[in-house]
Structures are given as C-alpha cells and as structure tokens.
Amino acid sequence: MNDTMILLTSIVNTIEAAFYLFIIWTRLVRNDRRDLPIFLR
C-alpha cells in the first residue's frame, strides 16, 4: 500500500465513525432508542 491509499482509508474510516456516532447521538437526544442495538439502550 502506498501512502496515498493509507491516507484515504484512514479518512474514510474517520468519516464513517463520525457519521455512526452522529446517528447514535441524534437518536439519544430524541430519546428514540428502539432502533439502537441492545447494549446501547
């Protein structure tokens, strides 16, 4: 793997993690926990 691919992969992983956390946070704020995994209820 060259440095460009490693950089792109890390950026994509960061965006995916931030998006997932944002979805969880908005659901918790709205107190809509039915769609969350059991361990987050």
pLDDT of 4-34, one tens digit each?
Answer: 999 999 999 999 999 999 988 887 777 665 6
> Residue 4: its pLDDT value, please?
94
Q: Is 8 a domain residue?
A: yes
* Cβ–Cβ under 8 Å, residues 3 and 11: no
Task: Measure the N-to-C terminal CA separation of the chain; round to a whole number of Å.
Answer: 40
pTM score over 0.85: no
Q: Is 14 a domain residue?
A: yes
> Residue 31: its pLDDT value, please?
67
Q: Give me the number of domains the chain comprises.
A: 1
Q: Is 38 a domain residue?
A: no
Which carries the bigger pLDDT value, residue 35 or residue 1? 1
Q: Is the pLDDT of residue 41 over 60?
A: no
Domain that holds residue 19: 3-31
